[in-house]
């Protein structure tokens, strides 16, 4: 097997958003076992498709990095294509499908970059292939034990009548801010992210700014650590986070119900007075795959990792300290019942023999 990793070196992009330069190489996926392993298992050899190279984009967040390496491994070992995993900024990777430098972007959140997505698809050179994982969401969280209790840990429910965000004002004292006990504490989004402003306005829209101080965590590390620490101690916690994430694989939190997302309310004037929209991680591929690698295209259409599995995967990545490509064999073993639904039986046998 011959695997390549690299960085796109030629780009003709006209929008200011695309000024981001490429980062370093993504490590190659682990080499599969020697061919004798396949023979002993009875797996048929992969077709000789090495003359065609399929390029996957890694846009440098954990879910994308893992999925690009996983999909490349399956494409290589299962279908016999040469594969490359190249590192690029999110929007640049999507535009690179239009220019022919990338074949597959595994993690496009269309609501976030819908305008660029529409432009690329409109060229006829790219198409949506499927949903890589779902759902992708942002929201306000509290520990489940506060509402339901946890008999195994000896924790009684402190918010047994809780229903939605409008109930938070009557429970503010459970979340007292140690710096200002006259109010509760809400841990906001990472500084500099749009959600920092969005959450501040949402608190005003719901009238919760009268009951809670909005505290900046300073960094994602502080935000995630505070959630895990509170959960392990069985203490109250109220703040913002998103899924999928390793933190939600380690804790058990409730996403606070809010009024359903409404495009008409999603602006500063209306103070974002509704829930964040729910998105999916979408797979976008080059339309040329229809002729160049139709069986790979079919595999990508079926590819889907449920959010709970993604949380577990990201937690394992976080705790193991391994690179994404090193975790591919772990995933293939642990979630065999899942990924074998994406590919034909002969492809599955080759992958199992090599992993």
Can the peptide bond before residue 135 be classed as cis, meaning omega within 30 degrees of 0? yes
Quote the tokens at residue 329: 């064999």
Q: What is the pLDDT of residues 248-278, one digit of tens each?
A: 989 999 999 999 999 999 999 999 999 999 8
Q: Do residues 242 and 164 share a domain?
A: yes
Distance CA 269, CA 255 (A): 25
Instruction: Between 30 and 14, name the one with better pLDDT.
Output: 30
Q: Do residues 238 and 328 share a domain?
A: no
| Residue at 229 is within a domain | yes
Q: Do residues 243 and 295 share a domain?
A: no
Helix axes 62-73, 324-334, angle to 10 degrees: 70
Q: Do residues 141 and 113 share a domain?
A: no
Tell me if 342 sits within 8 A of 303, measured CB to CB: yes
Q: Give the residue-averaged pLDDT of 155-163.
A: 98
Q: What is the pLDDT of residues 95-138, one digit of tens each?
A: 999 999 999 999 998 876 778 899 999 999 999 998 999 888 99
Domain boundary, last residue among 265, 297, 319: 265
Q: Do residues 92 and 162 share a domain?
A: no
Helix (H) / strand (E) element for 39: namely: helix 35-41
| Residue at 28 is within a domain | yes
Which residues form the domain of 231?
A: 137-265
Distance CA 335, CA 91 (A): 30
Q: Do residues 314 and 259 share a domain?
A: no
Task: Report the CATH number that the domain containing residue 217 is assigned in CATH.
Answer: 3.40.190.100
Q: Do residues 146 and 114 share a domain?
A: no
Dihedral sign of CA atoms 138, 143, 149, 150 in order: positive
Query: Could you tell me the pLDDT band of residue 81, with boundaries at 50, 70 and 90?
Result: very high
* 198 CB-near residues (< 8 Å, 6+ apart): 189, 272, 276
Q: Any idea what the Cα angle at residue 126 is, between residues 121 and 131, rounded to 5°? A: 95
| Residue at 270 is within a domain | no
Q: Give the residue-averaged pLDDT of 318-334.
A: 93
Distance CA 24, CA 17 (A): 20
| Residue at 89 is within a domain | yes
Domain boundary, last residue among 234, 265, 296: 265
| Residue at 272 is within a domain | no
**Distance (Å) of CA 208 to CA 171, 177, 186:** 11, 14, 10
| Residue at 274 is within a domain | no
Query: Could you tell me the pLDDT band of residue 41, with boundaries at 50, 70 and 90?
Result: low
Task: Report the CATH number that the domain containing residue 29 is assigned in CATH.
Answer: 3.40.190.10
Instruction: Between 127 and 30, name the one with better pLDDT.
Output: 127
**Distance (Å) of CA 97 to CA 5, 68, 119:** 17, 15, 11
Q: Do residues 255 and 320 share a domain?
A: no
Can you give the pLDDT at residue 2?
36
E strands within the chain? 3-6, 49-58, 81-87, 104-108, 126-143, 176-177, 180-187, 212-215, 239-243, 253-255, 279-286, 305-306
Q: Do residues 62 and 158 share a domain?
A: no
Q: Is the pLDDT score of 28 beyond 50? A: no
Can the peptide bond before residue 7 be classed as cis, meaning omega within 30 degrees of 0? no
Residue 320, SS3 per DSSP: helix
Can you give the pLDDT at residue 135?
84
Q: Do residues 149 and 257 share a domain?
A: yes
Q: Do residues 254 and 291 share a domain?
A: no
Tell me if 64 sits within 8 A of 325, measured CB to CB: no
| Residue at 281 is within a domain | no
Q: Do residues 172 and 246 share a domain?
A: yes
Tell me if 76 sits within 8 A of 82, measured CB to CB: yes
What is the total count of domains within the chain?
A: 2
DSSP state of 46: P
| Residue at 186 is within a domain | yes
């Amino acid at each position: 097997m011959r695997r390549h990793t690299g960085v796109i070196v030629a780009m003709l992009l006209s929008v200011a958003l695309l000024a981001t330069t490429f980062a370093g190489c993504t490590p190659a996926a682990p080499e599969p076992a020697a061919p004798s392993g396949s023979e002993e298992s009875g797996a048929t050899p992969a077709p000789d498709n090495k003359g065609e190279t399929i390029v996957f984009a890694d846009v440098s967040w954990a879910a994308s990095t893992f999925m690009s390496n996983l999909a490349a491994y399956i494409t290589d070992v299962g279908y016999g294509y040469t594969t490359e995993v190249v590192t690029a900024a999110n929007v640049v990777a999507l535009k690179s499908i239009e220019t022919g430098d990338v074949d597959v972007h595994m993690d496009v959140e269309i609501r976030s970059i819908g305008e660029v997505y529409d432009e690329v698809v409109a060229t006829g050179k790219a198409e949506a292939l499927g949903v890589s994982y779902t759902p992708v969401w942002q929201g306000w969280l509290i520990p489940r034990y506060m509402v339901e209790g946890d008999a195994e840990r000896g924790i009684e429910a402190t918010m047994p009548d809780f229903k939605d965000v409008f109930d938070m004002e009557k429970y503010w004292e459970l979340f007292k801010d140690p710096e200002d006990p006259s109010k509760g504490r809400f841990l906001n989004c990472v500084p500099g992210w749009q959600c920092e402003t969005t959450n501040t306005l949402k608190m005003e829209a719901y009238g919760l700014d009268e009951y809670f101080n909005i505290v900046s965590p300073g960094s994602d590390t502080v935000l995630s650590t505070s959630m895990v620490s509170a959960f392990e101690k069985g203490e109250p916690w109220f703040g913002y986070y998103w899924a999928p994430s390793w933190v939600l694989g380690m804790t058990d939190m409730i996403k606070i119900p809010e009024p359903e997302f409404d495009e008409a309310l999603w602006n500063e004037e209306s103070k974002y007075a509704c829930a964040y929209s729910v998105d999916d991680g979408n797979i976008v591929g080059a339309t040329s795959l229809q002729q160049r690698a139709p069986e790979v295209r079919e595999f990508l259409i079926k590819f889907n990792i449920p959010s709970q599995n993604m949380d577990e995967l990201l937690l394992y990545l976080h705790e193991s300290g391994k690179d994404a490509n090193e975790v591919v064999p772990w995933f293939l073993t642990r979630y065999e019942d899942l990924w074998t639904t994406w590919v034909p039986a002969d492809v599955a046998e080759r992958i199992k023999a090599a992993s």
